[in-house]
Each structure stands twice: as C-alpha cells, then as structure tokens.
Amino acid sequence: MQAAEKLVFKTPDVIIDRPTHYCPGCQHGTAHRIVGEVIDELGLADKTIAVASIGCSVFLYNYLNVDAVEAPHGRAPAVATGVKRARPDRTVFTYQGDGDLASIGMAEIMHAANRGERITVIFVNNTVYGMTGGQMAPTTMIGQATTTCPGGRCAEREGLPIKMAEIIGMLGGVVFCERVAVNSVKNIARAKKAVRKAFECQEQGLGFSFVEFLATCPTNWKMSPVDANKRIADELIPYFPLGTIVDRTGGGEDK
Amino acid sequence: MAPERVFIKGNEAIAQGALDAGCRCFFGYPITPQNDIPEFLSKALPEAGGEFVQAESEVAAANMLLGAAATGVRCMTSSSSPGMSLKQEAISYMAGSELPAVVVNMNRGGPGLGDIGPAQGDYYQSTRGGGHGDYRLLVLAPATCQEAYDLVIEAFALAFRYRNPVLILGDAILGQMKEPIARRESVTYDDASGGWHLDGNAGRDKRLIKSLFLDEGALAGQNRHLMAKYAAMRAETRWEAFQTEDAELVVCAYGSIGRIAKSTVRKLRARGLKVGLLRPITLYPFPDAPLLALAGQGKRFLTIEHNCGQMVDDVRLAIRTKADSDFFGVMPGELPNPDDLEGPILKSLEG
C-alpha cells in the first residue's frame, strides 16, 4: 500500500458485500449500514442475534454477518423476548417496518417495551407497506395515496398516522427512545448516535431501547429518490418530529 | 434410593415433568383448564434458574417460544383449545424453521368458547399440523398423571431428536385429576451438539433460522426434507394394547377416554365378553400397523372419542383394506363414565 493512501470510507466488517435487493433511493440500506457500524464499533458482531421481521426488512439477515432468526409478521419483539430470556448474555435486536410493528405487531411491541426487555428495536417508518406493493400503513400520512386508500388517507375514515416513538416513550420499561431520519448527513450522524446509545443501553442491562427511523420508499411513493428525500423534510418531520423522546440512561427522570 | 413419589394433579405432573426434563424457559397465558401449569412454573422455574414469562397473548407466548427454541434451550408453552388456535401461527413457523419445543394443549370443549370441561375436539388440529402449510407435530396423548409426567420428559428428547415441535394433548380430566406419580431422579441430555442453534457467530459462520425459501426449488426441497423427517418419526409410534389378542371387538380410544374405555372393557371381560382396547399413545405418528394387524385377524372395531368423530378417520384409514370401524362420540359438554360406554360397545360387539 502506498503511504499516501488514506482510507476514509470503509464498509463495516459486519456488513456483507453483496448486491442490494432494495429499490433505488430506499433508505433501508442506510439504516442497515448504521446498525452495522454500531455493531462493529461496540464489538458486538460475534455475540449478536438479530430478529428479522416480515416485509422488505426480512432480508436484513442477508446483509448482516450475525446469527439471525426470522419472526412471523409483527412478532419480532416476542421472538426477541424469547431469545433474550434464553440467552441474556447475547445482544438481541429486532428490525421492523411500520406495517409490522405499528399494525399487526402492536401488542407485541407495547408489551415487550413495557416489560423492559433488554432488547433494542430498530423501527423503520416509511409510511407504507413496501413489499406487498404500497398499501396503506398505520403511519400513512393524511392525504397520501396508496393502493388501498387511492383517494388519499382520510382522518375521518382511517384515523391519524400513529406516532410510535411517542407511544413507546410513555411505557415504563423504556430506557431510551428517539426518532431519527437519514435524509441528510447531519441527520445520519444523529441517527448513528441514537442507535449507538440504544445498543449501549442493552449492553449495560438498563432496559428497552427504541429508535424510529423515518425512511423513504420512492417506489411506492411514486417519487424520484431526490423527491422522496425531500418529502422526509417537508412532510414527515413536521408530523413525526425528530429527537430524543425518552432518555432514562442516567437513572433519572425523562429528558 | 427409590424415586420420589408425589401426589399431584395432571397439570402439575406436566409442569414437574418439564422441570425435571431440564426446561429452561416457559411462556404462558392464562386459560382454563391448564392454569396450574403456568402457576406451578411461575414459582418453580425461576427457583431452578430458568425464565418464566406471562405473555400478553397466546400469540406472543408461542412466538417467545420460537425465539427461545432458536437458541437451543429446552422450552415449553401450554394452553387450552381457544388459546391453541392462536398459537398455530408460531407453531407453523417453528415446524418450517425446524425448531424443537414442547407445546401442551389441555383440550376443552369447542367450537368457539365452548366450555371449560374436557373434550377431544382438537384431534384434527393436533394431528394435521394445525396451522398453515404441510407439516406435522409429534403428538403424545397421556391417559394418566404418571404417563403425562413421563411423556413430557420424552417430548423434550423427541423435539430435539427431530428438531420439531412436540405436542402433548391432554384434556380437563387429566389436568384436574390428582394421582401419585414417581419422579425421575435425573434426566441427562446433550442438546448443544446439534450445531444449529443461535448463540452469536464467534469462531464460526453465521447461522440463520428461517422458514422463507424463495430461491427456485428451495421450498420444494425443504418440503421434501420435512416429509422425509415425518416419515422417520414413524419409529416413535406408541400404543397400549389391552386384551386385544382374543378380542372379537377392539375399542380404539385415546387419552382420558381411552382410560375410561379401559374400565368398561375390564368390566365386560369380567362378564366373559371378548372385547379389547387399543389406545394410541402417539396420535401422530398414528399406530396404523397394530390396527391393521388386528384387522387382519378378522376383528371388528369401535372408535370412541370425546368429539363428533375425528380419530375414527385415522382408524378407518389404517384398517381400510381389511375392515371398518363403528363410531361412538361423547359430546363435548358431557362427561362420560365407564357405564355410559357399555351400551355402544355391546351394540358393536353384537354387530
């Protein structure tokens, strides 16, 4: 190697080098990478057990070089509870989309959080069911057209988009809860900091940690990646505000 | 030293058997008539260094079981009929992912909310997989508290031998009946040598436990693999044959009803009538071969169940080339005693 060459950008060791199956502009890859970087930096790769969910995110296990188990739709927090109770010395995290976590899996996420299971939940909210072809999710924005609300989501008919991070933050077993986005370099840096803190909570045995990612789905939003990224800032962040919702890592009161 | 004898309910015998078999994790949800199982283990399991979780639902409990099973520990869940319907999702995933665990169903009356009394209406659900897809569970049907204790211990060994969920199918009679049982002093096992469970990939390649097979030919291959495994399970077929040798009529009944029918058979034998009992202990695999052998000897058959006629299908399939079976069903919601079965047996005996 030439002395002048300086490596400034490297794929995390735990990320498997393979072509992505995600659509152009999809931010699952960014979220995967952030999780991978944190696992590497905290030295957790050989003690981590990932719990994959149903939807586009099921293929998380194809990109991360860690042991993994596939959970039925919405049940990842229950599966992770079983894994963690059986192996409390291992790092256990779920990676779930908004249909999985905020609709069919609402009971499992609420109770795992409330019990304060020593697990980390990475929640990717792109306001739509991605893999099944763009149906309405509990997080779909008012007016957003999907294949099952073609005229746009209507508050009177379908209710308002669910703010999961705020709901989770209310539960007693939660030690750390933050909403992040990956639409800018600044936000990516913040997201990584939050994910790092979430995994640190688990390593310190403090309790349940939760990070909600706002993410794009250009294919089902029927937008270019650039426009989809712009929608995060213009539409999503005003309704789903970014920031720390709960931080009890100091052992004290809520932030 | 003689093994310890304890006087306990069938539900407690199942919980004690799990504990003595080395069960480390139990995930439950309240439902009558199986509540003694989680209640017993909520105290005993943490004292033994294990984990007890009362889940938010049967759905969650079964999925917690899936997670614990993926790490290769001995784990169990229990429920009763309506709760079993909710557990089927995870059980199908566990069968597809080849995960070992023990599931207990203390059958109550159905359909719907039914009642909280004994019944055998879950025979189809138990022996046909129960959830979506082509899969089978090993199904063990104890008739006494001692057999329940012994079969739970056996169930853990079978679950790991075949990497498959094993179902203990009891009912409210078995669960609530109190009998003396002899405990085993110690159960030794080595489950860790399989090389498939998840514990972090230190020093080895990562492992993946899943039931999704999208690559061309992959799911067909997985189904062929599973079918071959289920065929191999035939080696585990168990049954009790009681006075069948010279019997003209063989009564086929399982679980608590098998035990009640045995009393009736004993009583009729005392009157010189040539009746016998074949009690399947494994409902899957079903004891086809002994039934067919008895049919080959020219015997007649009567299947008695605490339902509207489910296992009788399997009896008829087993003997179809040689004989047929009559059926007598005790309705869910009714509690039979040995005298109630006398009339139907005499009717079939007379032909």
Closest residue in B to A43 (Cα–Cα): B202
Task: Name the pLDDT band for A255 (thresholds 50, 70, 90).
Answer: very low
DSSP class of A233 = I
Q: What kind of fold does domain B240-350 have according to CATH?
A: Rossmann fold (3.40.50)
**Apex CA B114: angle with CA B113 and CA B118, to 5°?**
125
Report the range of poorest mean pLDDT among A71-80, B168-177, B191-200, B246-255: B191-200
Residues 6+ apart with CB under 8 A from B25: A82, A85, A86, B45, B50, B51, B52, B53, B64, B65, B68, B73, B74, B75, B76
- Is the whole model's pTM more than 0.90, yes or no? yes
What pLDDT score was predicted for residue B2?
65
CA-based nearest distance B298→chain A, Å: 50
Closest residue in A to B93 (Cα–Cα): A72
Task: Name the pLDDT band for A89 (thresholds 50, 70, 90).
Answer: very high
Cβ-Cβ contacts under 8 Å, B66 against chain A? 69, 71-72, 75, 78-79, 82
Provide the residue ranges of all domains of chain B, joining segments of one domain with +. 5-196+207-235, 240-350
More confident residue, A1 or B182: B182
What pLDDT score was predicted for residue A3?
67
pLDDT digits (tens, 9 = 90+) for A103-161: 999 999 999 999 999 999 999 999 999 999 999 999 999 999 999 999 999 999 999 99
Q: Which of B300, B303, B297, B248 is nearest to B274 (CA)?
A: B248
Residue A49 contacts residue B200 (beta carbons within 8 Å): yes
Q: Flag whether pLDDT at A252 surpasses 60.
A: no
B199 contacts A72? CB cut-off 8 A: no
Cβ-Cβ contacts under 8 Å, A68 against chain B? 198, 206-210
Closest residue in A to B24 (Cα–Cα): A86
Provide the residue ranges of all domains of chain A, joining segments of one domain with +. 28-247
Q: State the average pLDDT over residues B304-333.
A: 98
Q: What kind of fold does domain B5-196+207-235 have according to CATH?
A: Rossmann fold (3.40.50)
pLDDT digits (tens, 9 = 90+) for B49-79: 999 999 999 999 999 999 999 999 999 999 9
Average pLDDT, chain B: 97
Residue B243 contacts residue B104 (beta carbons within 8 Å): no
B68 contacts A82? CB cut-off 8 A: yes
pLDDT digits (tens, 9 = 90+) for B120-160: 999 999 999 999 999 999 999 999 999 999 999 999 999 99
Task: Name the pLDDT band for A2 (thresholds 50, 70, 90).
Answer: low
Phi-psi region of B63 (alpha: psi -120 to 50; beta: other; left: phi over 0): alpha
User: What's the N-to-C CA distance of chain A in angstroms?
Assistant: 48
Residue A92 contacts residue A83 (beta carbons within 8 Å): yes
Q: Which of A24, A22, A30, A70 is nearest to A50 (CA)?
A: A70
pLDDT digits (tens, 9 = 90+) for B164-221: 999 999 999 999 999 999 999 878 888 877 899 999 999 999 999 999 999 999 999 9
What pLDDT score was predicted for residue B191?
80
Q: State the average pLDDT over residues B319-344.
A: 97
Residue B160 contacts residue B153 (beta carbons within 8 Å): no
Q: Which CATH number fits domain A28-247: 3.40.50.720, 3.40.190.10, 3.30.450.40, 3.40.50.970?
A: 3.40.50.970
Percent of chain B exceeding pLDDT 70 equals 99
B5-196+207-235 and B240-350 have identical folds: yes
**Single-letter amino acid code for the residue at A25:** G
pLDDT digits (tens, 9 = 90+) for A148-177: 999 999 999 999 999 999 999 999 999 999
Q: Which of B58, B52, B63 is nearest to B26 (CA)?
A: B52
B93 contacts A78? CB cut-off 8 A: no
Helices (H), A22-86: 28-41, 60-63, 76-86
**Single-letter amino acid code for the residue at A147:** T
Does any CB of chain A come closer than 8 Å to the CB of residue B200? yes
What pLDDT score was predicted for residue A66?
98
B27 membership: H or E segment, kind and range = strand B25-28
